[in-house]
């Protein structure tokens, strides 16, 4: 199932997206998509609505240096345990919404990632049971202001700006995330290309590690880490991240405050 969140002429709603291309239809879900969704009977052609971020998380937990080649390109070593940090939920935007580069940040990098969406409240989840608590998977972009990251010595400001967490285009509930391709393109040029089989800490381990620290709530997002090939994005660019089995998340880039 593909679960999305849309803006239609009738307001904002969670939907199940069925079909592809011009025949794709959004079927409205009552209240929320967790558990066994109830449908209202209303529907809209996908072409007639606007896709929003598929979920509004209470928190976004991001994982640093979870691909060995990315750890190396950033001048570090692969960590023995997951390295986690928080991005504020105010950083979340949906497909086609501009990433706004702060006027005083340079360079700002893209980081394409597979994202986990939690489906049930959980704490201290064993890795072997992680799938029981996952609603599905979407695509994320852990946008990062590298100069601020270096200056601050920690990552909150550099990765926490409004618009620095694009998510979408929808959540896929039946994806096997163990070995899918992830590709990031900027203006049609491939920057990142890897597979989730190269994650240092897999999905089960990440849910186990994060839930040992904090309670995870329905809708919470875990960004699983980015592969090598991160690089700068500039005003006027278009960033597209494709994950096999999910789709493509695309966002334009603008410089904040530009006249």
Question: CB within 8 A of 217, min separation 6: which ones?
Answer: 58, 59, 118, 121
pLDDT by residue for the chain (259 residues), tens digit each? Answer: 999 999 998 999 999 999 999 999 999 999 999 999 999 999 999 999 999 999 999 999 999 999 988 888 877 788 899 999 999 999 999 999 999 999 999 999 999 999 999 999 999 999 999 999 999 999 999 999 999 999 998 899 999 999 999 999 999 999 999 999 999 999 999 999 999 999 999 999 999 999 999 999 999 999 999 999 999 999 999 999 999 999 999 999 999 876 4
Among candidates 101, 103, 220, which has minimal Cα distance to 167? 220
CA distance 70 to 153: 18
Rounded to 5 degrees, φ, ψ at 202 are -80, 180
pLDDT at residue 200, rounded to an integer: 96
Q: Which run of H or E residues covers position 82?
A: none
Domain boundaries, the chain: 2-52, 60-255
Among residues 133, 119, 115, which one has the least CA distance to residue 62? Answer: 115
Please give the structure tokens belonging to residue 239.
């960033």
Q: 60-255 in CATH: which number?
A: 3.90.850.10
Give the helix, strand, coil percentages of the chain, each rounded to 5: 20, 40, 40
Residue 192: count of CB within 10 angstroms of its CB:
22
Cβ atoms of 159 and 145 within 8 Å: the answer is yes
**CATH placement of domain 2-52:** 2.30.30.370
What is the pLDDT, as a whole number, of residue 53? 98
């Amino acid at each position: 199932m593909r679960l999305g969140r849309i803006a239609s002429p009738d307001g904002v709603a969670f939907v199940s997206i069925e079909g592809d291309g011009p025949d794709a239809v959004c079927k409205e879900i009552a209240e929320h998509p967790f558990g066994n969704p109830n449908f209202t009977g209303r529907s809209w052609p996908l072409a007639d609505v606007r896709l929003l971020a598929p979920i509004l998380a209470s928190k976004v937990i991001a994982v640093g240096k979870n691909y060995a080649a990315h750890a190396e390109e950033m001048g570090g070593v692969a960590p023995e345990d997951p390295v986690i940090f928080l991005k504020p939920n105010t950083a979340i935007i949906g497909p086609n919404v501009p990433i706004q580069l702060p006027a005083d940040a340079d360079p700002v990098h893209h980081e394409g990632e597979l994202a986990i969406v939690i489906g049930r409240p959980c704490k201290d989840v064993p890795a072997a049971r992680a799938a029981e608590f996952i609603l599905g998977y979407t695509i994320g972009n852990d946008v990062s202001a590298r100069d601020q990251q270096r200056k601050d010595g920690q990552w909150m400001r550099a990765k926490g700006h409004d618009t620095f967490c694009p998510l979408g285009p929808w959540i896929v509930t039946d994806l096997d995330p163990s070995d899918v391709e992830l590709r990031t393109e900027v203006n049609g040029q491939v920057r990142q290309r890897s597979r989730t089989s190269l994650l240092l800490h897999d999905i089960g381990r990440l849910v186990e590690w994060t839930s040992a620290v904090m309670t995870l709530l329905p809708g919470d997002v875990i960004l699983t880490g980015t592969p090598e090939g991160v690089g700068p994005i500039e005003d006027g660019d278009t960033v597209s991240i494709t994950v096999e089995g999910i789709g493509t998340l695309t966002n334009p880039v603008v410089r904040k405050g530009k006249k």
